[in-house]
Amino acid sequence: MDASADYPAILLQGASLFPHQLLPLHLFEPRYRRMTEEALAGDRRFAVGESVEAPEGAEGAGAWATLGRIVTHQALPDGRHLVLLEGEVRLKVAALAKRRPYPLLRAERREDGPDGPMDHIATARTLAAVERLLGEAAQGQEPATLLPRLQQLAAGHPGRFADAVAGHLVGDAALRARLLACTDPSRRLGWLQDFLGRLEIERGLGPGGTDFDPRLN
């Protein structure tokens, strides 16, 4: 287990990032504009964490976050930034070390445990469900781009594949939190199979509210 370190972070309400998920961000707050500029001048990395209310109404951070890397960036004339962040590794948050000039999370990196002996079967079944659901979705650029990425990850990295599916296709906040806090690829794949199986049943029953959205979250 790695020792704790401090990571610059953007804290969001109702949004999260998984390893191997692509997350588009529009950064306009002065603190996050500064953070982005410093990241671009350094290793291009910052974390995405959960914004929670701390004692006395101060801003706090949730228990888990994800360190990401800027893969594309556009600076706007008024100082705002458009970035595409790719998640890299989970962070177990110990504390919000600083709030100014931008948040710093004191956290430990948490790598995945080993793949299980049956993960290749679970991955194949999960991918088949994803292909069916995306095939039934309205045709568009995002589903067409997403599916090849998921297929590539499924070919050799069950844990990475599970994270990408969770990040892009799971909208339920409670399930996202449970998946983000889990470093066992076999367990994540099992939860995703259950989730996608329920979605297929719901879609087969007709229109109704589901948590499936074939867009980049």
Residue 48: which CATH number?
A: 2.30.130.40
The CA dihedral of 179, 184, 189, 190, to the nearest 10 degrees, is: -90
Closest alpha carbon to 180 in 95, 83, 68 = 68
Note whether 22 and 216 are within 8 A (CB): yes
In a domain, 147, yes or no: yes
Q: Which residue has the higher pLDDT, 100 or 2?
A: 100
Q: If DSSP codes are grouped into helix, strand and coil, which group holds residue 206?
A: coil
Q: Identify whether residues 21 and 78 lie together within a single domain.
A: yes
Q: Identify whether residues 146 and 55 lie together within a single domain.
A: no
Output the pTM of the full model: 0.87
Q: Which residue has the higher pLDDT, 127 or 2?
A: 127
| Count of domains observed in the chain | 2
- What are the tens digits of pLDDT across the range 116-130? 889 999 999 999 999
In a domain, 215, yes or no: no
Q: Identify whether residues 141 and 106 lie together within a single domain.
A: no
Q: Identify whether residues 23 and 81 lie together within a single domain.
A: yes
Note whether 17 and 85 are within 8 A (CB): yes
Note whether 9 and 103 are within 8 A (CB): yes
Q: Identify whether residues 21 and 77 lie together within a single domain.
A: yes
Helix (H) or strand (E) holding 85, with range, is strand 81-98
Query: Residue 216: pLDDT band by 50, 70, 90 thresholds?
Result: very low
Q: Identify whether residues 70 and 139 lie together within a single domain.
A: no
Q: What is the pLDDT of residue 40?
A: 97
Note whether 59 and 99 are within 8 A (CB): yes
Q: Which of 80, 110, 140 is the last residue of a domain?
A: 110
Q: What is the pLDDT of residue 160?
A: 96
- Sequence length of the chain is 217
Q: Identify whether residues 10 and 104 lie together within a single domain.
A: yes
Average pLDDT over all residues of the chain: 89
> Rounded to an integer, what distance in angstroms lies between the CA atom of residue 113 and that of residue 158?
11
Q: What is the pLDDT of residue 205?
A: 66
Q: Identify whether residues 18 and 55 lie together within a single domain.
A: yes
In a domain, 158, yes or no: yes
Range of the domain at 105: 5-110
Most confident of 11-20, 85-94, 148-157: 85-94
In a domain, 177, yes or no: yes
Q: Identify whether residues 106 and 155 lie together within a single domain.
A: no
Q: What is the pLDDT of residue 169?
A: 92
Average pLDDT over residues 110-120: 91
Q: Taking the CA of residue 29 as centre, how many other CA atoms within 13 Å lie in the half-sphere pointing to its CB?
A: 12
Question: What phi and psi, each to the nearest 5 degrees, are found at residue 216?
Answer: -65, 125
In a domain, 213, yes or no: no
Query: Residue 139: pLDDT band by 50, 70, 90 thresholds?
Result: low
In a domain, 80, yes or no: yes
Please report where in the chains the tokens 């959960």 appear, as a residue: 50
For the chain, percent of residues with pLDDT exceeding 70: 89
